[in-house]
Structure 1
Amino acid sequence: MDNSLIIALDFANRSEVARFLEPFGDRELFLKVGMELFYQEGPSIVQLLKEKGHQIFLDLKLHDIPNTVFGAMKGLAQLECDLVNVHAAGGKEMMQAALEGLSAGTASGRKRPNCIAVTQLTSTSQEQMNKEQLIPITLNESVLHYASLAKDAGLDGVVCSAWESVSIHDNTGNSFITVCPGIRMESDHVGDQKRVATPEFARNAGVSAIVVGRAITRSADPANSYEQWMEAWKGVHQ
């Protein structure tokens, strides 16, 4: 999990995924399957990618009553993903139920998927959180609170901004996973993200894994773009 670069497969169907992956040949990647792709293709897309040797982050951000999340995670565990997530706003009991469901659904002798919690989306600003969520504290305080709650619930880590990774590790320990979207090169367009950071900043902040989407998936040469990102992220030539 440490120093992983996760490619966000923000595609509508498996045909688009296949076209994107073709230039990579047999290279094994860490891929994120989110709502758009999973809701169109279902579990079979995860099974297909796992059969090809890829690691999978199934990014469905579960947020429901504990019993429902337990049942959903019990089913999702059978897909043998490497990473899944929930919303920390669902509360400690819900997060504990997620872990219980994953454990119940994981086959004997297999490792359960790592489970992390979304703190505040990287598209959320301080003003938006205060006015729309009616949370009167700072964004950083909210993120740290959710991270501590996830740690107390037994989760493996959180989704957060790279800007919050250092303070989260200070509060939860370096083994607590921080997965960070909103990563951009200096020259990249920010898009709909608010709290963005460069791969170099993320590396220096002790981030466990970064999530990169359009900068690779919309590139004219995705395999080359991936290599450039890996070099920037790892700090060495691949």
Structure 2
Amino acid sequence: MAVDEKKSRSFVSIVAVKVQGVTEPPELLNMRIHMHIIRCHLRAPRFFEPQGRKGEREEKMSTDVGFSGDETAPFFGFIGASAALVFSCMGAAYGTAKSGVGVASMGVMRPELVMKSIVPVVMAGVLGIYGLIIAVIISTGINPKAKPYYLFDGYAHLSSGLACGLAGLSAGMAIGIVGDAGVRANAQQPKLFVGMILILIFAEALALYGLIVGIILSSRAGQSRGE
């Protein structure tokens, strides 16, 4: 052992002298060489690991993560569900507030027409239900523990939520403006009531188009895994 140690020290001292004029002590250089060998050994891939043990480790890692598929895909799905509900409720809130202001102003002079002029408020409130339906459909479709959830599914749910939410927002703005002006005009000319209802129906149809397209897009979510 003493002879081997002496040989290794002499070898290290020779290396220390020949490598670009290194003046470190042989013991310190020997320690650095051993540390470098250990680092290389730790970084080296395990080529001879048994296949069964490797499969068990991968299975354990997938179980620890808690779901299968792309890790960022649920982010887009949840954003789509939130967008469907938030934008639809924004449109419903604007339509309700704008129409409610018109109903309140008209009710001061013609209180008997208040219940008849409440139609725009009701139609604006329905827009929030459309967003709620799409949000529930999307949220129930995001279950990575039961089935894989890929980026295709997340993008489909995101587009579904945006289609329904933005359509509901635009419809709510139209219903609010038409309802405010319509109930005021109806107080002065009752014959305008039927025309106001028709305009409100066509404005409501915009949100209905968004709901239909949102349902179709959300149903495309499972096609990436062959469902």
TM-score under structure 1 length normalisation: 0.20
Q: Whose helix proportion is higher, 1 or 2?
A: 2
User: For the pair shown, which has the larger CA radius of gyration, 1 or 2?
Assistant: 2
TM-score under structure 2 length normalisation: 0.21
Say which structure, 1 or 2, has more relative contact order (CA 8 Å, 6+ apart): 2
Q: Whose strand proportion is higher, 1 or 2?
A: 1
